[in-house]
Structure formats: structure tokens, C-alpha cells
Amino acid sequence: MNADLFMPYQLGSYQLKNRFVMAPLTRNRAGEGNAPQAMNVTYYRQRSSAGLIITEGSQISPGAVGYPATPGIHSAAQIAGWQQVTGAVHSQGARIFLQLWHCGRVSHPSLLPDGALPVAPSAIQPEGNAFTFQGLVPFVMPRALETAELPGIAEEYRQAAQNALAAGFDGVEIHAANGYLLDQFIRDGSNRRTDQYGGAAENRCRLLLEVAGAVSKVFGADKVGVRISPLNPFNDMHDSNPQHTFETVARALSPLGLAYLHVMEGAIGSSKHPQQDFDFKKLRAAFDGTYIANSGYDKARANAVLADGQADLVAFGVPFLANPDLPERFAKNASLNAPDVSTFYGGNEKGYTDYPFM
């Protein structure tokens, strides 16, 4: 039987009503103390026609922050705010996972406690700019994490997962993509370590495996997903052999029995695959479990990869941002709302909760 977007799917112990996934989307609209607020509840409730919602990245600790007005999952106020979101989504029959986020080297001292330096696998200053309350400023030289500090990072993820459980989430997604801390460890362009967390690809994915193990103790592995982005150059990222690196990651994750592997197949801000040969079918074959495809998919492409088994679920970002009723629009072949790029990051309800339904 050929699968399509409208068929239900068994994700671990959860029956999803369809194969639409709302991708994690940073919107910079958290309230005081980086806690979710009323308009965030409305935003997620509106998009509950997705089978699975993955929230915007939510920092696991005060030292994990990388942007202004992004939500966290490390304070009582943040847990309470997220409880309102999960309750609203569950009332509409959808499932919701929280994305666990540590920004690593792409943060800025102005965003961190006591003006601390951002941390990284290695002291390599990325090219580009940090987003701060004062506007765009150049990235700083990060501080390389000591080997002895890394169990503490895994513990921060575990505690964040515990908080997500208290907030009513169905599961969590570990953000190991798009140039953030765990991705910085995975790719050799940002990891020059000489300890057991550097060198061979098997070592560079060690911290991700330890985090996945710690988080799985809270939720159970079948309620934990991982997101990767093999080719995304965002945040000055690159790898000398992404095919080998990320097949190694996929094979290492396979025995853990995770909920899914969520793969950003292109680059942020582009529906085209970067100009680099990469065989995503081989990556899928290397992971024994649910595969979520993501990158500029429309209805036709999504149904095509589902029908031939290249993916089990498909994540949509900007289409869900601008079309809260995306599944219904696809079902009726209706036109889509045009996204207002100027309101993607920061602001109020405009360009956030005011996109019209059909």
C-alpha cells in the first residue's frame, strides 16, 4: 500500500492522525523570562491539524541561550507556559514534541549569565553575526569545553527533558543540526578536539549519543527524536566528508530505538540542496527507524517520497507558518497563503497568529 500525507502513522506508542509534521521554527516571541505566553498558545493550537508538532528550539539552560526572546525549558515559569501550549495542542488531537536546544558557539556574552563566553567543542570563531538585543554583532571566540564538563552538558539535557515531561510534552527532539552545539561536535569543521570527543566521526558523535541516552532515561527512547543537517552551511558549518560523518551518526543512533531521525536535507532559507553530492537514501538506510524528511517539500514531492518509502513522515516549515490549516489546504488542492518574511522573527501577533484559515 502506497503511503501518503493523509494516512495515519504509528510513531512508537503514538498513533499520529496523519504524516504531516510541523517543523521547528524559531519565531522570537517568548514572553518575560523567555517563557511561552498567550499568543504562543494560540499559534500552536492553530496548527494542531498536523499529526506531530515539533516546537521551536527551547534552550536547556541559561547558558544555552543564543537569541533574544526564544523560549526555554529550565524555569518554573517556562514549564508553566509550555503546559498551556501542550494542553491546547492535545485538545485538538495532535502530538507535540519539544525541541531541546543548546546554541553553543553562536551565542554572545550579552545573552549569557555574567557575560560568559559561549562554549564550543573547540576555540574556533565562526564567521558571521550573532543576533543580540543590540542588533547584529560579530560572533566572538568561544571557549572550548573541558572534557570534564561534558557530563554536565548531558545532565542539562536530561533535566530539560524532565522539565518537558512536567510540561506535558509527548516527547522531545534533540537539536543536533544547523550549527548549534551538538552539530558543532559532529562536524570536523568546528571540532578539532584531541580527546575521546574529537577526531574520528565515531568520537565526534559521542556527546550526541550520551545526550540521547540521558534524555531517553526520562521519556523512553521511543519518545525521543534527533534532528541533523548534513549539508546545511548555516552558522559557518562544514564537514570534510559529510556522507561518512552522518552515516556514522545514523548507524550509531540506530540501536537506541529512538522515535525518529529528522533530516534537514537542504540549507536554511533555500529549497535547493546545496551543491554537494550526498546520498540521502544511504543515510535513510543507515538508520533503523522512522525517517522524517525536511527541506522545501510541497504536496507532490512529499507524497512521492512517502509512496516510495524514502521517508515515513514529512516536515513542513514555512508552509505551516503561513497556513495554519495546511493539511486541509493540501487535501482540497487550495491555494496557500504567502508568507510575510518581515514578520518571521520577533514582533507580535502580526504575521504570527493572523494568517487566515480557508
Instruction: Quote the CA–CA distance of 248 and 251 in Å, as a whole number.
Output: 5
Let me know if residue 277 belongs to a domain.
yes
- Can you give the pLDDT of all 358 residues of the chain as single tens digits? 589 999 999 999 999 999 999 999 999 999 999 999 999 999 999 999 999 999 999 999 999 999 999 999 999 999 999 999 999 999 999 999 999 999 999 999 999 999 999 999 999 999 999 999 999 999 999 999 999 999 999 999 999 999 999 999 999 999 999 999 999 999 999 999 999 999 999 999 999 999 999 999 999 999 999 999 999 999 999 999 999 999 999 999 999 999 999 999 988 755 444 556 899 999 999 999 999 999 999 999 999 999 999 999 999 999 999 999 999 999 999 999 999 999 999 999 999 999 999 9
Instruction: Quote the CA–CA distance of 61 and 46 in Å, as a whole number.
Output: 28
Instruction: Quote the CA–CA distance of 324 and 307 in Å, as a whole number.
Output: 25
Let me know if residue 352 belongs to a domain.
no
Which residues have CB under 8 Å from 285's CB, separation 6+? none
Let me know if residue 264 belongs to a domain.
yes
State the CATH number of the domain containing residue 57. Answer: 3.20.20.70
Let me know if residue 3 belongs to a domain.
no
Taking the CA atoms of 20, 88, 216 and 321 in sequence, report the sign of the dihedral they define: positive
Query: Distance of alpha carbon 308 from its chain centroid, rounded?
Result: 25
> Structural domain of residue 126, as residue ranges?
9-343
Question: What's the one-letter identity of residue 221?
Answer: A
Let me know if residue 4 belongs to a domain.
no
State how many domains the chain has: 1
Let me know if residue 297 belongs to a domain.
yes
pLDDT at 21 (0 to 100): 98
286, 280 contact by CB (below 8 A): no
List residues with catalytic annotation.
180
pTM above 0.95, yes or no: yes
